Amino acid sequence: MKLLVTGGAGFIGSHYVRTVLTGAWGGAEPEQLVVLDKFTYAGNRANLAPVADDPRLRIVEGDILDRALVDSLVADADAVVHFAAESHVDRSILGARDFVMTNVVGTQTLLDSALEHGVEKFVHVSTDEVHGSIATGSWDEDQPLLPNSPYSASKASSDLLARAYHRTHGVPVCITRCSNNYGPYQFPEKIIPLFVTNLIDGQDVPLYGEGSNVRDWLHVDDHCRGIHLVLQNGRVGEIYNIGGGTELTNKELTGLLLTSTGTDWDRVERVADRLGHDLRYSVDISKITAELGYRPEVPFEQGLADTVAWYRENRAWWEPLKAHAALGR
C-alpha cells in the first residue's frame, strides 16, 4: 500500500509514521509512505529522524490548502491518513482563523482530491472534544456534536464534511475520535510535556482553576495502533472511538507529575480557568473493541513514567522548542 500521511511530522502523526515503517504492530508494511507537513511550530523534522533514512519515506513540505500539491500526492496514494490540524485549544481562543482554514478548508481540499483520484481509504483523525462535555457515562459514536471551543468546533466541522463526502460522493472515509494523547515528542505546550519540562527545570506550572476537569488519557502508541486497525479493517462510513481507559482530574494528574519529578505542590500556580473549559471527556470504545479487537495496551503508570524519562533524556529536542516559543516566534 502507498500511504499519504498529512501532518506526519507532528506529535501523533510522526509516531504513526515511525511505528508503521518499523512494523511494530505486525501485518503488512507500506511500500511507500509520503509525509505532507507544513512544518509550523508543532511540525518538526527531528520527529522523523529515526526513520529518515528509510527508502520508503518521502517528506514533502507543503500546505493541505494547496490543491495542486495535494492532487499530485493523492494521485499516487492508495490511502490517506489525515492528521494535519491546528490542535491547541488556548491558541484557538486567541484566534480561530488558522483553525478554520486548516481544519475545515484543508480537510475539504483533501476530500475533494480523494474523490477525484479514487483513493481506497481515507482515515480522518479527530477528537473526543467535538462532543463538548459529559458529566457522567461515556459517549458512543452516535452522540451529537456540541463543541465548546473554536478548536473543537473546527474539528466537528471537518468530521461533518468527511461524513458528507462519504454519504454524498462515496469517498471511503473512516473517522476516528481519540481521547487525550500523551507520550514522547509531544510539543511542550500541552499539559504533560509542559509540566514535566517546567518541573525538571525548576519552574512553576499553571493549573487551571481547581484542577477538577477530567480527561481520559491515551498513550500515543495505543492511539496510532487503533488508527492503523481502522485503516486496515474499519468499515467505510463509520466512526470509531479510541480511548485509553484512565480518567484523571487535572489535579490528580498534576500530583502524579509532581511525584515523578520529585517536586511538590509549592511549584503549582493556580491560574484563571480557561474560557469555555469542558469539565469532562469520556469515550466508549466498545465498537472498535468488538469490530477490530482494539484495546489499550500501555498501562498509564508505565506510560507516564516512560514519558517523563524521555523528556529528561531528550533536552536537546525540547529546549529549542521552548526557547523559540518564549520569544513569541
Give which of 184, 141, 177 is closest to 307, Cα–Cα: 184
Given the residues 151, 165, 185, 311, select the one marked as catalytic.
151
Pairing of strands 57-61, 32-37: parallel
Which helix or strand (DSSP H or E) is residue 2 part of? strand 2-6
Given the residues 37, 86, 129, 247, select the one marked as catalytic.
129
Which helix or strand (DSSP H or E) is residue 70 part of? helix 67-74
Measure the CA–CA gap between 106 and 108, rounded to whole angstroms: 5
- Residue 29 has what DSSP assignment? P
The sign of the torsion formed by the CA atoms of 28, 29, 33, 39 equals positive
Given the residues 37, 63, 128, 221, select the one marked as catalytic.
128
Which helix or strand (DSSP H or E) is residue 287 part of? helix 286-292
Amino acid at 308: V
Is 54 marked active-site? no
Q: Work out the end-to-end distance of the chain between its first and last CA atoms, rounded to an integer number of angstroms.
A: 38
Is 31 marked active-site? no
| CA 250 to each of CA 201, 261, 270, 278, 299: distance values in angstroms, whole numbers, following the listed order | 21, 16, 12, 12, 18
DSSP 3-state of 176: strand
Record the cell numbers describing residue 173, joined without a space. 472515509
Give the distance from CA 16 to its chain's centroid: 10
Amino acid at 56: R
Residues annotated as catalytic (active site), given as ranges: 128-129, 151
